[in-house]
Amino acid sequence: MPLTRRTRLVLTAGAGLLAVGAALAVHTLTGADAGLQPAKASGAPHCRHITDTAPTPLGGLPRRDSRLAGVVVWGQQDIILRCGVTPPHLTPDPCFSVDGVDWIIDRAQSTGTRKVIVSYGRTPATQVVFDGRGHTDAALVDLSKLIAPIRQTSHCIPSR
């Protein structure tokens, strides 16, 4: 049975809508949030403030929108911030301070080109992943300004 002109038009429009839907699905899966999960306490008020006021750009990289609570991404996931992670306990991992904010280098998750750091002594804790392409030092100064308002309850570097 031959298709009418109207039936062909409806089928063509339907196929077009399917193609658009597939393209949107692929974009969603490969966008700023691809492979990322929000942290357990990502809905904390401090996390909302951090994500709302996070700088753009950071470390020379543009900020990309994330639909995940407590998550900010710069570049093509060159720098990823996840607020609301479980605060680290005292650890033998290296600790350093930037503008009064203590950070731990999570050696278990870091590699030669990927550095994972977590704020120390503040709840909620914030994890930042650097893949090596951003300007880490400048980025840490800006990120420490975001974290500093969270009350510090302990130090990994003894106060002097």
Half-sphere exposure of 133 (CA within 13 A, CB side): 10
Q: Output the DSSP codes for 11-71.
A: HHHHHHHHHHHHHHHHHHHHSTTTT----TTTTSHHHHHHHHH--SSBTTB-EE---STTE
6: which residues sit within 8 A by CB, 6+ positions away? none
Could you tell me the CA-to-CA distances from 49 to 1, 42, 92 in Å, in that order? 63, 11, 30
Please report whether residue 157 resides in a domain.
no
Clarify whether residues 121 and 54 are in a common domain: yes
Residue listed under structure tokens 């996070």: 54
Please report whether residue 117 resides in a domain.
yes
Go through the chain and tell me how many residues it has. Answer: 160
Clarify whether residues 71 and 14 are in a common domain: no
Clarify whether residues 15 and 61 are in a common domain: no
Please report whether residue 159 resides in a domain.
no
Whether this model's pTM surpasses 0.85 = no
- The count of domains in the chain is 2
Clarify whether residues 12 and 57 are in a common domain: no
Confidence of residue 125 (pLDDT cuts 50, 70, 90): very high
- pLDDT tens digits, residue range 41-95? 999 999 999 999 999 999 999 999 899 999 999 999 999 999 999 999 989 999 9
Clarify whether residues 50 and 120 are in a common domain: yes
- pLDDT tens digits, residue range 84-110? 999 999 899 999 999 999 999 999 999
Clarify whether residues 61 and 99 are in a common domain: yes
Clarify whether residues 54 and 104 are in a common domain: yes
Clarify whether residues 132 and 107 are in a common domain: yes
Domain hosting 104: range is 45-147
Sign of CA dihedral 26, 27, 32, 37: negative
Please report whether residue 152 resides in a domain.
no
Please report whether residue 160 resides in a domain.
no
Q: In this predicted structure, what is the pLDDT of residue 19?
A: 39
Please report whether residue 155 resides in a domain.
no
Give phi and psi for 106, each to the nearest 5: -80, 95
Q: Helices 136-147 and 45-53, interaxial angle, to 10°?
A: 140
